[in-house]
A and B are shown apart, each in its own frame.
Chain A
Amino acid sequence: MSEKRTRQRRPTPARTSPIRDFSTVLHPEPAKPTASAEPQPEQANGQQPRSDFLSDTVAQGARLGYAVIQEQIRQGQLIAQQWTQGKRPGNGFDVSALLQRTMHLSTDLGALLFDVTSAITKNGAGDARRADGASTTSAGVGAQSVANVRMSVEIEARGHTKVMLDLSASAIEGHLHVPALYSLAGDSPPLTRIAFEGLALRVQIPDEQPAGTYSGVVVDRRTNEPRGTLSVQLTR
């Protein structure tokens, strides 16, 4: 005799569609993206709000990058245009040098942007500690702790000088090198007399150097991998 069966029904599903809003997966209380970049009120301590500091810094760095890269491209196009019009560049024109300069500049600037932003964003970027950084004054010798290693900084300059050095932990093992520091204003000559000697940083600033902020990438000389950033703020 066949058993009497009652019609079965499916269990009620808890949901019938996937969760696409993944932010709940990683961030239980995700910070919502700001819809616009409208100014935010200053914090009680008078410091700039974190997001503004970040966006301003990144945007400023990016603008610098665009300007220099655009200039390189413009120069290159100009030369190419001259050639196609039958005009040859003057004596001393070196295609190879142009290319090398273009590549180095663009790479350095890209790396600069990357590392400046990286430096800003890590460790809760934009906090006062980072903005103030390590500083020293003219002809003074300061010291700061980087990844628990003591590093000395020697400045040779006439004006008031503030140095901000940010190194990754891996920098300690590297052969550090800074090719040059460029002005954010874009129209000042770069600072080139900068040298790492072991765990000592030596910065020489010409007397005629215009005031401004000069920034560059610290690289490992052997691999050319970025290891940090160096900024010098010069006031007269």
Chain B
Amino acid sequence: MPRRKRTKVAIIGGGCAAITAAFELTRPQHAGRYDVTVYQLGWRLGGKGASGRGPAGRIEEHGLHVWMGFYENAFRLVRECYDELNRDPERFPIAHWRDAFEPEPHVGVADRGANGQWVFRTAEFPPAEGLPGDHVPGGRSFTVTEYLLHAVVLLRTLVLDVQTRGVTEATAASSAGDDATNLSRNEIIERIRTGFRYGVLATAAGLTSAVGVLGVVFRSLSTFPQNVVLDLLERIAATAREQLETLVVGDDEIRYKWEIIDLVIAIMVGIVKEGLVYHPKGFDAINDYECLEWLRMNGASEKSTKSAFVRGLYDLAFAYGPDGPRPGLAAGQAIRGSLRMLFTYKGAMFWKMRVGMGDAVFAPFYEVLKRRGVKFEFFHRLENVGIAEDNDAPASAHVDRLDFVVQAKIKGGGEYDPLVDIAGLPSWPSKPDFAQLQNGAKLAREGRDFESDWDSTCATKKTLKVERDFDFVVLGIGIGAIPRTCAEILQRDERWRAMVEHVKTVETQAFQVWLAEPMEKLGWGGPPVTLSGYVHPFNTWADMRQTLPMEGWPVRPGGVAYFCNALADDPSLDRQHADYAKKRSAEVKSNAIRFLNEDVSRLWPGAEANGGFRWGLLVNADAGKVTGVEAFDSQLWKANVNSSDRYVLAAPGSLQYRISPLDATYDNLTIAGDWTDCGFNEGCAEAAVMSGRLAAHALSASPPLEDIVGYDHP
């Protein structure tokens, strides 16, 4: 009986999308049909999600990774991975996916009060039914109508909340037992103003109840003329805005909620006005608009579009530059993402990892894939994707060869063993194990950084040939690396050129500090929140105290905090220059020190001393006591400037230039990454996993497209 030929698949890159493709192609149901090899730059998997262990086993991330409760595909694969891994809970501190992820219901935003002072608001989102990644029999469908109904409920809840407070305070004011005649005129005016604000805003309850009419209308939308619905909605919105907006000035709590109400109404108006409920393109129909522009077009006020709520959402998508909303967010994807985030999460709104993403996600995948027979070729930097024209099909082409630089050779010629044991958990180190490398001591002395775009370490070169070394290619590298590695494709393919030109990415910056005292002692009395919307250069802060038990400190620190933000391009710097990365790193360090000195005390009043940061708070892994700013040298800061590190943006007018992993222009090539047209076109782990699943489908017709949750989504 003839032996069935295995299809050789070369997967280039080791981020979420690439590893997902490997996982899908090696599922048992394929019966070993695909012979997969992963080619990875440097010593670790993960791409933008890579993490490492540093001094004292501390977790060192590229930035902040928080998974949202709607990441159905990502959680599903992680859960399957852990099930297959079947770790012994007696031996491993993280044996089950629920050990790796913990629900985080608290979401925080930094807001400006009426007097310009910062106000930090935290909201607790109630647990939602189920867990992310739960199998839904028959698949999961999404409808705009469903979102509209959710929005109606949200509106009514918000206004009822305000109403409750208004009644309480107005009643308190009127029943204080004092006679109005005993009050000064100003006191009376203030009382009436306060009561009036609440009273009038309470009419928003009526208005919103009137919006409740729309809830009924939305349920049977197809039976209503569009202009009737729009008329209802716009009248309600106009009445509410005209009468209420100016009256909430001076009450931060009501203003904050009013701004959200205003935005939700604008989204409703926009959805109805643009006919998105039945639009064949779904929310993509408005992707040429910048989201804030679109909200304003549909009646949102200028104030609301600059509100803490909006800034928080933009920060999560790295969509703000330091000078404002540039390049911004495509309206359709932004609305799609917001609706999914708010209304389709399972379990909790956010899920935080108890260890670095590398150890929570990529180490388990690495171990499972190894068991399945996947080969890993670390220290392989892709240099060129060679293209050959097809003689039998004009204008058609395929990948003919793959050229690599092999950055280091493994002693003995075997495979590199990438994981280390930290507190009983297989983990990725922050630096390669030079002892496994030929000339390792020399490479270590020279401080080789194999992940750097500016690193030119080359032990040898390698070329893979089609038919001999591979049949199919999954190109899972970052889009930032496409111009350097895919010149032959770009030369012949206008669509690829347009994609590279229009799909933008941004560098990011991050720092982590380990603190001697817990957050409560520093003055943060709230929950361990993820808070965004704060000042540049670090607008997002996450209290990551849950990771401390998984690190290897002899004396556990009291707290740990992660900060991150976009890092705007600096036109004065030459990116090709060898010192570029060092300069950017120095810039991030300087930003972090300034931030700690000037801004962090609003979050942690107890961290301030003599008008600046109390540097003695920082925990040094070397146990040395440093009390000056030099103490920051022991902490972690990152300028994520490598092409694989850059965050992929969802800028308006850009998404149509993305190419799908399903695109078959090159009949043995597919692409994978959160930069592809994957159905959820925004930089995140879920998009990357969806893209990886699509890439696997492109090569194997599996998984079915209907099985990719959220791909078929308005």
- Cβ–Cβ contact A73 & B203, under 8 A: yes
- Cβ–Cβ contact A107 & B699, under 8 A: no
Interface residues of A in 68-99 (CB under 8 A from B): 69-70, 72-73, 76-77, 79-80, 83-84, 86, 95-96, 98-99
- Cβ–Cβ contact A102 & B199, under 8 A: yes
Q: How far is the CB of B428 from chain A (nearest CB, A)?
A: 32
Q: Which of A10, A31, A66, A99 contacts B223 (CB 8 A)?
A: A31
Q: Which of B191, B205, B227 contacts A37 (CB 8 A)?
A: B227
Q: Which residues of B contact A222 (CB under 8 A)?
A: none
Q: How far is the CA of A211 from the CA of B159 in the complex (A)?
A: 36
Q: Which residues of B contact A11 (CB under 8 A)?
A: 698-701
Please judge, given known A-B contacts A6-B467, A7-B467, A8-B471, whether A114 and B215 are in contact too, CB under 8 Å: yes
Q: How far is the CA of A2 from the CA of B5 in the complex (A)?
A: 12
Interface residues of B in 644-673 (CB under 8 A from A): 660, 662-664, 667-668, 670
Please judge, given known A-B contacts A17-B660, A109-B210, whether A50 and B282 are in contact too, CB under 8 Å: no
Q: Which of A10, A12, A18, A66 contacts B472 (CB 8 A)?
A: A10
Q: Tell me the nearest residue of chain A to B174, going by C-beta.
A: A96
Q: Which residues of B contact A46 (CB under 8 A)?
A: none
Q: At the interface, yes or no: B219 with Cβ under 8 Å from chain A? A: yes
Q: Which of A13, A80, A106, A110 contacts B664 (CB 8 A)?
A: A13
- Cβ–Cβ contact A98 & B210, under 8 A: no
Q: At the interface, yes or no: B170 with Cβ under 8 Å from chain A? A: yes
Q: How far is the CA of A41 from the CA of B362 in the complex (A)?
A: 64
- Cβ–Cβ contact B209 & A73, under 8 A: no
CB 8 Å contact bits of A18-44 with B (1 = contact, 0 = none)? 111111011100111111110000000
* A interface, size bucket: 35 or more
Q: How far is the CA of A113 from the CA of B7 in the complex (A)?
A: 63
- Cβ–Cβ contact B189 & A84, under 8 A: yes
Q: How far is the CB of A234 from chain B (nearest CB, A)?
A: 25
Q: Tell me the nearest residue of chain B to A21, going by C-beta.
A: B280
Q: At the interface, yes or no: A188 with Cβ under 8 Å from chain B? A: no
Q: Which residues of B contact A120 (CB under 8 A)?
A: 216
Interface residues of A in 93-126 (CB under 8 A from B): 95-96, 98-99, 102-103, 105-111, 113-114, 117-118, 120-121, 125
Q: Which residues of A contact B208 (CB under 8 A)?
A: 110
Please judge, given known A-B contacts A26-B141, A33-B278, A114-B209, whether A99 and B712 are in contact too, CB under 8 Å: no
Q: How far is the CA of A180 from the CA of B663 in the complex (A)?
A: 64
Q: How far is the CB of B386 from chain A (nearest CB, A)?
A: 14
Q: At the interface, yes or no: B222 with Cβ under 8 Å from chain A? A: yes
Interface residues of B in 148-201 (CB under 8 A from A): 163, 166-167, 170-171, 174-175, 185, 188-189, 191-193, 195-196, 198-200
- Cβ–Cβ contact B199 & A99, under 8 A: yes
Q: How far is the CB of A9 from chain B (nearest CB, A)?
A: 4
Interface residues of B in 214-266 (CB under 8 A from A): 215-217, 219-228, 231-232, 235-236, 239, 243
Q: At the interface, yes or no: B144 with Cβ under 8 Å from chain A? A: yes
Q: How far is the CB of B612 from chain A (nearest CB, A)?
A: 45
Please judge, given known A-B contacts A10-B667, A25-B143, A30-B222, whether A95 and B192 are in contact too, CB under 8 Å: yes
CB 8 Å contact bits of B570-584 with A (1 = contact, 0 = none)? 000000000000000
Interface residues of B in 127-146 (CB under 8 A from A): 141-144
Q: At the interface, yes or no: B526 with Cβ under 8 Å from chain A? A: no
- Cβ–Cβ contact A20 & B142, under 8 A: no
- Cβ–Cβ contact B664 & A107, under 8 A: no
Q: Which residues of B contact A3 (CB under 8 A)?
A: 5
Q: Tell me the nearest residue of chain B to A19, going by C-beta.
A: B712
Q: Which residues of B contact A76 (CB under 8 A)?
A: 196, 199-200
- Cβ–Cβ contact B663 & A73, under 8 A: no
Q: At the interface, yes or no: A51 with Cβ under 8 Å from chain B? A: yes
Q: Tell me the nearest residue of chain A to B212, going by C-beta.
A: A114
Please judge, given known A-B contacts A95-B192, A99-B202, A102-B199, whether A32 and B222 are in contact too, CB under 8 Å: yes
Q: At the interface, yes or no: B711 with Cβ under 8 Å from chain A? A: yes
Q: Which of A10, A103, A108 contacts B670 (CB 8 A)?
A: A10
Q: How far is the CB of A179 from chain B (nearest CB, A)?
A: 14
- Cβ–Cβ contact A55 & B701, under 8 A: no
Q: Which of B203, B239, B280, B284 contacts A103 (CB 8 A)?
A: B203
Q: How far is the CA of A203 from the CA of B203 in the complex (A)?
A: 29
Please judge, given known A-B contacts A7-B466, A16-B663, A79-B192, whether A114 and B714 are in contact too, CB under 8 Å: no
Q: How far is the CB of B531 from chain A (nearest CB, A)?
A: 33
- Cβ–Cβ contact A110 & B207, under 8 A: yes
Q: Tell me the nearest residue of chain B to A34, going by C-beta.
A: B225
- Cβ–Cβ contact A83 & B189, under 8 A: yes
Q: Which of A33, A61, A106 contacts B225 (CB 8 A)?
A: A33
- Cβ–Cβ contact A35 & B226, under 8 A: yes
Please judge, given known A-B contacts A13-B698, A106-B206, whether A59 and B231 are in contact too, CB under 8 Å: yes
Q: How far is the CB of B585 from chain A (nearest CB, A)?
A: 40
Please judge, given known A-B contacts A8-B472, A51-B225, A110-B212, whether A105 and B664 are in contact too, CB under 8 Å: no
Q: At the interface, yes or no: A195 with Cβ under 8 Å from chain B? A: no
- Pick from A110, A113, A125 the residue with the most CB of B within 10 Å: A110
Q: How far is the CB of B286 from chain A (nearest CB, A)?
A: 12
Q: At the interface, yes or no: B281 with Cβ under 8 Å from chain A? A: yes
Q: How far is the CB of A224 from chain B (nearest CB, A)?
A: 11
Q: Which residues of B contact A236 (CB under 8 A)?
A: none
Q: How far is the CA of A66 from the CA of B712 in the complex (A)?
A: 39
Q: How far is the CB of B38 from chain A (nearest CB, A)?
A: 19
Q: How far is the CB of B160 from chain A (nearest CB, A)?
A: 9
Q: Which of A9, A18, A34 contacts B712 (CB 8 A)?
A: A18
- Pick from A31, A69, A98 the residue with the most CB of B within 10 Å: A69
Q: Which residues of B contact A17 (CB under 8 A)?
A: 660, 662, 677
Q: How far is the CA of A58 from the CA of B239 in the complex (A)?
A: 17
- Cβ–Cβ contact B5 & A103, under 8 A: no
Q: How far is the CA of A13 from the CA of B239 in the complex (A)?
A: 50
Q: At the interface, yes or no: B398 with Cβ under 8 Å from chain A? A: yes
- Cβ–Cβ contact A98 & B199, under 8 A: yes
Interface residues of A in 147-165 (CB under 8 A from B): none
Q: Which residues of B contact A95 (CB under 8 A)?
A: 170, 174, 191-192, 195-196
Q: Which residues of B contact A58 (CB under 8 A)?
A: 213, 217, 224, 228, 232
Q: Tell me the nearest residue of chain A to B200, going by C-beta.
A: A76
Q: Tell me the nearest residue of chain A to B710, going by C-beta.
A: A18
Q: Which residues of B contact A59 (CB under 8 A)?
A: 228, 231-232
Q: At the interface, yes or no: A15 with Cβ under 8 Å from chain B? A: yes
Q: How far is the CA of A86 from the CA of B189 in the complex (A)?
A: 9
CB 8 Å contact bits of B263-301 with A (1 = contact, 0 = none)? 000000000000101111111100000000000000000
Q: At the interface, yes or no: A228 with Cβ under 8 Å from chain B? A: no
- Cβ–Cβ contact A22 & B210, under 8 A: no
Q: Which residues of A contact B185 (CB under 8 A)?
A: 86
- Pick from A17, A80, A102, A106 the residue with the most CB of B within 10 Å: A106
Q: How far is the CA of A84 from the CA of B196 in the complex (A)?
A: 13
Please judge, given known A-B contacts A22-B713, A34-B225, A69-B239, whether A114 and B199 are in contact too, CB under 8 Å: no
Q: How far is the CA of A50 from the CA of B222 in the complex (A)?
A: 12
Q: How far is the CA of A84 from the CA of B202 in the complex (A)?
A: 21
- Cβ–Cβ contact A66 & B239, under 8 A: yes
Q: Which residues of A contact B445 (CB under 8 A)?
A: none
CB 8 Å contact bits of A112-147 with B (1 = contact, 0 = none)? 011001101100010000000000000000000000
Additional pairs, 11, CB under 8 Å, beyond known A69-B203, A117-B217: A15-B662, A20-B280, A22-B142, A22-B143, A58-B217, A61-B213, A99-B166, A103-B167, A103-B203, A106-B207, A113-B213
> Can you list the 6 inter-chain pairs with the closest CB atoms, starting with the nearest?
A110-B209, A106-B206, A20-B282, A99-B199, A96-B174, A31-B222
Can you show 18 pairs from A to B with CB atoms below 8 A apart? A2-B468, A8-B471, A11-B701, A18-B712, A20-B712, A22-B712, A23-B277, A31-B222, A34-B225, A37-B228, A59-B231, A66-B236, A69-B203, A69-B210, A76-B200, A103-B202, A110-B205, A110-B211
- Report B's interface with A, CB cutoff 8 A: 5, 7, 141-144, 163, 166-167, 170-171, 174-175, 185, 188-189, 191-193, 195-196, 198-200, 202-213, 215-217, 219-228, 231-232, 235-236, 239, 243, 275, 277-284, 398, 466-468, 471-472, 660, 662-664, 667-668, 670, 677, 679, 697-701, 705, 711-714
